[in-house]
Structure 1
């Protein structure tokens, strides 16, 4: 038995070492090709996507990160962290024992269903909302916990990384949600004319994709996912799915009405520095990504999903797509940094991504939902508010309230204008 264990450990170490060396060799080779193309002047605006550094990378049937900043996590590190968590004294994340104290520090709001429904129906005006932007310029975002959000651009709806469950494994074991979803998915669909037109899933981790959401939405929406996740959805009865590789572009098709007649929408699948897998056995068998939503060739929204910080990538995205109107960027699950930094960003790194993307406005997501790391549950929000004050942009760097619908006027968003926030019905409107 000992010999078998040692043999398995040796095989795993050999596999991990080989994958790491192959990844480093590929990164170095891509960098050399990039420098050669740069020297020859072949990376101008017309052919800039020839840049080989940020193409998806697959080794021995599994996806790997092609970024020099990335450090892979081995099973040894995984189990060491689980041991550290088990020996932690007190409640992880500093969560208060009293539910009332938790609710006081992290209050939720109810989504503005009147506004969401009116926008879906292409209505210019909404009762109780006299100062709304015109429908064509109207963009709203409702944070629903973790990286899950409902985005509306004019009358078009996108559900992002759907996660409505109160647990990741089951209700008895594993991480439990400490702030419930502000609305159930079933209720959201009933009150807003059904499923959204599109569902964007950045990767397959349990906190970004809820199995019950798959069943509820089914084929009513067009699912847009990275490579490999399509099979997972099809195994659960969903055939209305499109898989994308990094840098793939997808023109969106839908029933034409109102503003959609003249506007051309497009989703671009983009790299992120993360990893995939729902169990230990399927680690990195499916790709991970971020998404950019464009209208008439201009970047309106960036969905960061989950990522570590890699400066060259995000600067390239800013060069390629910037300026970007609005982004939902992760700000939590970054501690301890020696363990988390290759895969998750801190609030300061998230703000740097915003700057790299030349982004006018961001909301910080991926916090305040599950305890998945060691920082205090309120620390991401506190740090982001501090950074917003430091940059004197309190209405451009936003700590969202779970469930609160925020509304923006895409025609007024610019770097020189930190829009004022005003309560408008159940929403916050930035003017």
Structure 2
């Protein structure tokens, strides 16, 4: 193995917060985006006004060298059967299928929307190292209906999976939408792919009753060691005839200001898709990944009627035991006297359905 291959293998084995795996690249100016300065872009890096940025490399080493991760099983199969979604769901009816990790298929208004598609065996820049799946996608790639829209929240490897996006483009030619800068990553080596890059606050309509609005999240971005914050990240408010859906992508809590602003702008959410895992050790992860306690706070601030918890039980990115996020969420719901069905820790293959507006 030559030096370059060794470094890539080493990088693939080291997981940085958020599932991003370090690649050793030369430092340079912004790798992906060039645009005007704004209230969340300083000309080189994006930032969340009043928010918390990622931990330092020194903190990362403290985590890796001083903390022990729980041992995950090699296989953690879902209790749900593989899903075979319909070709379309029309009108105000809504079908949301959890594929795994942070990937969802939303079907409504005759539009098929795929969120953060990740069909690869590893969340890594290399195929031979890095976080490996412990359960398969609940919808096999070939069983996906024709995809109309793909939304990609940010560029960490467990959310922006280039092989999956290229395969979707080759098969369906969907509209691919992502925050500023991530289009350059998706197009790398494939200049033929049409990717629409959007800023926070941008709204895109797909059908008479289906649209998406890009909003902030308490998170960050990187594909390697020298491109931190070079691309924007986002959460999504998805307008449907059944009600509004909020998908976090990745987020910490950060005092709740981001979610309060979303609530004031958009009103309560019919359905929240909220991350509940990849949070340990808490001192390192608290500013970028919600734990069940944070997720319940976000649920309340956004006024969610229902929620599905994701970002747990598929790729081991952090230290907590594999079933702890679900167990802790259920414990907190019980302690608060809330019905367990109001916020479900989803397993791959879970399907949320409504025939009309969500009540």
The residue aligned with 1:181 is 137
Structure 2 CA distance for partners of 1:201 and 1:112, relative to 1, 3 Å = same
Structure 2 CA distance for partners of 1:154 and 1:386, relative to 1, 3 Å = farther
Matching residue within 79, 88, 92 for 2:61: 79
Deviation at residue 287 of structure 1 after TM alignment: 0.5
Structure 2 CA distance for partners of 1:236 and 1:404, relative to 1, 3 Å = farther
Q: State the structure with more CA Rg.
A: 1
Deviation at residue 242 of structure 1 after TM alignment: 1.3
Task: Output the CA distance in 2 between the equivalents of 1:385 and 1:397.
Answer: 9
The residue aligned with 1:154 is 109
Task: Output the CA distance in 2 between the equivalents of 1:391 and 1:221.
Answer: 43
Structure 2 CA distance for partners of 1:201 and 1:110, relative to 1, 3 Å = same
Tell me the SS of whatever aligns to 2:41: strand
Deviation at residue 141 of structure 1 after TM alignment: 1.1
Matching residue within 292, 305, 310 for 1:365: 310
How many pairs were matched up?
A: 316
Deviation at residue 233 of structure 1 after TM alignment: 1.9
1:264-283 matched pairs, under 5 angstroms: 264-283=209-228
Task: Output the CA distance in 1 between the equivalents of 2:39 and 2:233.
Answer: 9
Gaps of 5+ in 2: 1-37
- Corresponding position: 1:67 with 2:44: no
Deviation at residue 410 of structure 1 after TM alignment: 4.0
Root-mean-square deviation (Å): 2.1
Task: Output the CA distance in 2 between the equivalents of 1:56 and 1:208.
Answer: 25
Runs of 4+ in 1 over 4 A off after TM superposition: none
1:241-260 matched pairs, under 5 angstroms: 241-252=195-206, 260=207
Matching residue within 382, 401, 423 for 2:347: 401
Structure 2 CA distance for partners of 1:152 and 1:391, relative to 1, 3 Å = farther
Task: Output the CA distance in 2 between the equivalents of 1:408 and 1:356.
Answer: 23
Deviation at residue 367 of structure 1 after TM alignment: 0.5
The residue aligned with 1:229 is 182
Gaps of 5+ in 1: 1-54, 123-134, 253-259, 415-431
Tell me the SS of whatever aligns to 2:249: coil
> Contact 2:307–2:342 at 8 Å: present in 1 too?
yes
Tell me the SS of whatever aligns to 2:143: helix
Task: Output the CA distance in 2 between the equivalents of 1:210 and 1:236.
Answer: 14
Deviation at residue 323 of structure 1 after TM alignment: 1.8
Deviation at residue 399 of structure 1 after TM alignment: 1.8
> Contact 2:54–2:220 at 8 Å: present in 1 too?
no
Task: Output the CA distance in 2 between the equivalents of 1:147 and 1:357.
Answer: 19
1:31-430 matched pairs, under 5 angstroms: 57-59=40-42, 61-68=44-51, 70-84=52-66, 88=68, 92-96=69-73, 99=75, 102-103=76-77, 106-113=78-85, 116-117=86-87, 120=88, 135-169=90-124, 170-185=126-141, 187-189=142-144, 192=145, 194=146, 196-218=147-169, 220-237=173-190, 238-252=192-206, 260=207, 263-295=208-240, 300-310=244-254, 311-389=256-334, 390-411=336-357, 413-414=358-359
> Contact 1:322–1:359 at 8 Å: present in 2 too?
no
> Contact 2:109–2:210 at 8 Å: present in 1 too?
no
Structure 2 CA distance for partners of 1:112 and 1:241, relative to 1, 3 Å = same
Task: Output the CA distance in 2 between the equivalents of 1:373 and 1:149.
Answer: 22
Q: Comparing both chains, which one has the higher relative contact order based on Cα–Cα distances under 8 Å and sequence gaps of 6 or more?
A: 2
Tell me the SS of whatever aligns to 2:353: strand
Deviation at residue 340 of structure 1 after TM alignment: 0.2
Deviation at residue 277 of structure 1 after TM alignment: 1.2
